[in-house]
Amino acid sequence: MAANAEETLAERNIRLAQREEEERRIREKEEEERRQNAKDGVKGGSFLDGQHKKLMSGNLGDRMREGRRGLVVQRD
């Protein structure tokens, strides 16, 4: 019975070590994504910086269309 308990304990320790390793990899991946997003100015950075980059990525015609999107023509 003691041998069975020791075997169970050893299996548990192996599973715990695997779980800790998996959690460490997930944490590292999330941290890398945060760093990358902060560089891009999308998440973790300024919202306005992200919008500015998005706006400036198009050509002049695209920017002009974006500016006119909310305009309403009134004719008398």
**For residue 37, what are the contacts with CB-CB under 8 A and spacing of at least 6?**
43, 44, 45
Q: How many CB atoms lie within 10 A of CB 45?
A: 14
Residues 46-66 have pLDDT tens digits of 777 777 777 777 777 777 777
**For residue 58, what are the contacts with CB-CB under 8 A and spacing of at least 6?**
66
Domain assignments of the chain as residue spans, ordered by start:
2-53
pLDDT at 36: 79
Residues 17-54 have pLDDT tens digits of 999 999 999 999 999 888 877 766 555 557 777 777 77
Instruction: Give the type of residue at 14.
Output: I
